[in-house]
Structure 1
Amino acid sequence: MTFDPNVYATRRARIFEELERRGGGVMVLPAAGEKLRNGENEYLFRQDSDHAWAVGLDEPDGCAVFAARGGERRLVLFVRPRDREKEIWTGRRAGVEGAKELYGADEAFTVSEMDDLLPALVEGAPTLWYRLGFDAAWDARLTRVLVALRAAARTGKRAPEAVADSGRILHELRLVKGPDELAKLRRAADLTAEAHMAAMRDGQPGRRESQVQAEIEYAFRRRGGTGPGYSTIVAAGVNSTILHYRAGDTVLRDGDVCLVDAGGEYEWYTADVSRTFPVSGEFTPAQRELYALCLALQKDAILAVRPGTTLDAIHDGVVRRITEGLVGLGLLKGSVDERIADKSYRKYYMHRTSHWLGMDVHDVGDYLVDGKPRPLVPGMVLTIEPGIYVPEDDQDAPAELRGVGIRIEDDVLVTEGGQVNLTEGVPKELADLEAVCVR
């Protein structure tokens, strides 16, 4: 994991500025903890995204405390201590000195000192900024701090008057990506392009979904990624109509489609790409028609991304185009306006077109501002992912389309002049797709 101290110094300054703009306060950002998978074996550690964005320290336990009050700015880190014996088993630690020298802490203490020192850090702050409801142990810890401060009111101690969601500050800062973040997202996109092409080449008749998944996740790691940014979806045949299907043991069959939704993670930032390819190497005529419809409207939706528009406006355009196409294919009857009004299209397209993307696959940031859809601004990154899913038991659909799901998804950066498709390196044109899949 690379660490640029200048990037994190700038982020710290922005956090302090936002705290001061809101009247000052103390923000507590817990680090993620390690979690047991089974026995004494732990899940692969992944740092909490807010802590990672604000501090950059890739170690479990402890927390960061940002204190801004009375014109003073102070970052306090609680970290695991250096321990020669434990470091032999689990790797080097920054320790208290590293927290100050490498990660910019004004003060640093060990995790074991946290419960004793947190009350003094929180005491007197007008607002405690903390995300209640995401970690029961941390909720209980800070509740004890508040109770203790209130109980000591007769001695002059003062608990914060308010507890506010730290996401109101951090998630707005994370929503618009800086140059360093975009560089990592581009690298994640490159890893993901290689992985999807590996899936297309490997996804031949007789292979199992789990085997295709292995090819994808190998490609993520082969060029320096940390693995998948979310659970990899490899959905063959009728499984392609299950939106969040996980790769299983289903065998890929000649004549089926295979829907892959997979994104590689690079230094905490993930891509998010969906492609649908023909297992045989060529779509059937009916599959080709459905795919061409989805591709055309997806490309139009990407071109609609620009400053000032909204995700709702983009989605509404996709809904209209899909409904027109479904009526044209005979999957829906009546007028397009009628089918939009009664939401009949949701039988075949039941999800939204876009979500924010960054450190989390469904990244943070409000979608509404003052109750209205949020206008896009340069630096935002979002997905464009329309899909058409024909139920296996849809008696109104042609037999050759029943159980066929198509989703095409790319990651799009909003720029001053419009947009850039970060994942355009993943083939999706019919000829390009089938060329990669050639058997």
Structure 2
Amino acid sequence: MSSELIKECTKRRQILRERMLPNSIAVIPAANMVTRSNDTEFPFRQDSDFHYLSGFPEADAYLVISNSPLMGDVFSALFCLPKDELAEIWQGRRIGAEAAPADYEVDIAHPLDDILVGLTSYLNGHENLYFARGHHGPSDALMDEVLANLRNAPKQSKIAPSCEFDIRLLLHEMRLFKSDFEISIMRQAAEISCDAHIAAMKYSEVGKNEFHLEATIHHHFAMHGAKSPAYSTIVGSGDNGCILHYTENNCELQDNNLVLIDAGAELQGYAADITRTFPVNGRFSEPQKALYQLVLDAQLASFAMFKPGSTFKAASDKAIEVLTRGLIELGLLSGDLEDNIEQQNYRQFFMHGLGHWLGLDVHDVGNYKVAGADREFEPGMVMTVEPGLYVSETAEVDPKWKGIGIRIEDNIVITEDGYEVLTDKVPKTIADIENLMAN
């Protein structure tokens, strides 16, 4: 784990301590291993909140953060799996409680076996508990036992916290704003993902399968240090591109079809999220060109609204206006522009939102409204911008439009005076896509 990440985590813990009420303690659990089948597990992925505050990579751990003088010089404590020679032969090396304080800049660490007694001692006397109840079942049961121990021991002068707060209200607000360090990692994740999309475009040809393109992308991720995709990769050709979360990826690539790829690498926990749509054979048909250009025009028009003080709604309204006007001009909708927008007739072809927050989770945390109003963009926010049009084979339109699914998705960060596109390396104009695939 990089020393820069550990220093970031230390700063984050200090910010969290300052934002908690006085005499407060927070408990944050790590993720657990998840059974895949019988005695095998899925590849481990750390809980995003735990990773954000600790950088500690192992399962079955707990982080404790306090701002109370009750703790003396201990402001952060870690409970983790102990060193175990036999277990490490089978399952890999453990960090252990002895090495964790120096390696991860926590004040003290304990073996996980001490968690019940240790948490009971740490929570004693704190007025406020910050905890994400309902997020992690085993820790809910543990905290209930700890609190019961404290409440049932008044003769030992033990006092349970009188108030419990959802730590996510503080923590997810912090995570919404990315530091320069986080943005640098997301740039790297974006670059790896961009190159993977380019490789898939080059590899595409009639007769290959959707899973060939998926494999090309995953191979590129892994060969460049991103061992896992950030989410299940979508490779939808033809009418499959009209299924928003299509993941079967097992159909042959047909001539004259488009293929929609939604894929992003995960690097050091941070996600990229890119979608490109291109012709299997390298050349757009005229109907495909018309709808594709309309989606691209909508995205580019919406970009102007991504700046401090603007909102997702303002950007979405701009994209919807462009899409609806274009659908009327092409004959997929009829009638007045304002009426079509008011009646949301466009939703039969564009049924999802324009974008979402991006970070440690691909659909990252953070409120979209504040006090009932649309949240204004601020520097450091990272998000996707992904207009689309989906005309399925069952749509009641001219047959030339059927089976065309298009989405164009980029990742942007809000800056002091506008935005920066992190994913513009992947071609997305019709000419650039056709030139890349021809060469």
Contact residue 410 and residue 421 of structure 1 kept, 8 A: yes
Asked if 2 retains the 8 angstrom alpha-carbon contact of 1:278 and 1:437, the reply is no
Deviation at 1:298, TM superposition (A): 0.5
SS in structure 1 at match of 2:15: helix
Residue equivalent to 1:120: 121
User: What is residue 395 of structure 2 aligned with on the other side?
Assistant: 394
Determine the C-alpha separation between the residues in 1 that align with 2:55 and 2:115: 20
The answer (yes or no) to whether the contact 2:380–2:413 under 8 Å persists in 1 is yes
Residue of structure 1 in register with 2:51 after alignment:
52
Matched-pair contact (CA < 8 Å) for 2:235–2:261: yes
- For residues 178 and 214 of structure 1, the distance between their equivalents in structure 2, rounded to whole angstroms, comes to 33
Task: Give 3-state SS (helix, strand or coil) of 1:99's partner.
Answer: helix
Does the CA-based 8 Å contact 1:277-1:437 persist in structure 2? Answer: no
Partner of 2:413: 413
Counterpart residue number, 2:30 = 31
Checking the alignment, whether the CA contact within 8 Å between 1:3 and 1:56 is kept in structure 2 is: no
Alignment of 1:225 with 2:226, yes or no, is: yes
Which residue pairs with 2:97 in the alignment?
Answer: 96
Q: Is the 8 A contact 2:385 2:409 kept in 1?
A: yes
C-alpha deviation, 1:429, in angstroms: 1.1
Q: By how many angstroms is 1:356 displaced?
A: 0.4
Shift of 1:391: 2.1
Measured against aligned partners, the alpha-carbon deviations of 1:27-75 in whole angstroms (never above 9, x if no partner) come to: 1110111111112111101100111110001111111000112485610
Does residue 420 of structure 2 align to residue 425 of structure 1? no
Gaps of 5+ in 2: none
Percent of paired sites with the same residue? 39
Instruction: Find the aligned partners of 2:209 and 2:329 in 1 and give their Cα distance.
Output: 35
Instruction: Determine the C-alpha separation between the residues in 2 that align with 1:91 and 1:18.
Output: 37
- What is the DSSP-based 3-state SS (H/G/I as helix, E as strand, rest coil) of the residue aligned with 2:262? strand
1:312 corresponds in structure 2 to: 313
Superposed CA deviations along residues 234-272 of structure 1, whole A, max 9, x for unmatched, are 111101000011042111100111000000111111100
Q: Deviation of residue 154 (structure 1)?
A: 4.7
CA distance in 1 between partners of 2:62 and 2:85 (Å): 22
Q: Provide the rounded CA distance (Å) in 1 between the counterparts of 2:224 and 2:398.
A: 43
* CA distance in structure 2 between the partners assigned to 1:280 and 1:24 by the alignment: 65
- AA in 2 matched with 1:2: S
Describe the superposition over 1:342-384 as per-residue Cα deviations: whole angstroms up to 9, x where unpaired: 1111101111101100111001111111111111111110110
Deviation at 1:394, TM superposition (A): 1.2
TM-score by length of 1: 0.96
**1:212-251 equivalence runs, <5 A:** 212-251=213-252
| DSSP 3-state at the match of 1:274 | strand
What count of residue pairs does the alignment treat as equivalent? Answer: 436
Query: Alpha-carbon deviations, 1:105-138, whole Å to 9, x = none?
Result: 2111011111221111122222211111122221
In terms of mean alpha carbon deviation, does 63-72 or 365-374 score higher?
Answer: 63-72
> TM-score, structure 2 length as denominator?
0.96
Compute the displacement of 1:92 (Å): 2.1
Q: What displacement does 1:216 show?
A: 0.6
Q: Which runs of 5+ in 1 are unaligned?
A: none
CA distance in 1, matches of 2:415, 2:249: 39
Deviation of 1:317 (Å): 1.3
SS of the residue corresponding to residue 102 of structure 1 reads helix
Q: List aligned pairs for 1:256-405, cutoff 5 A.
A: 256-395=257-396, 397-405=397-405
Match of 2:67 in 1: 68
* CA shift in 2, pair 1:285/1:371, >3 Å: same
Shift in CA distance, 262/106, structure 1 to aligned 2, threshold 3 Å: same
Contact map agreement 1:286 1:400 (CA 8 A) in 2: yes
Structure 1 contact 62–114 (Cα < 8 Å) conserved: no
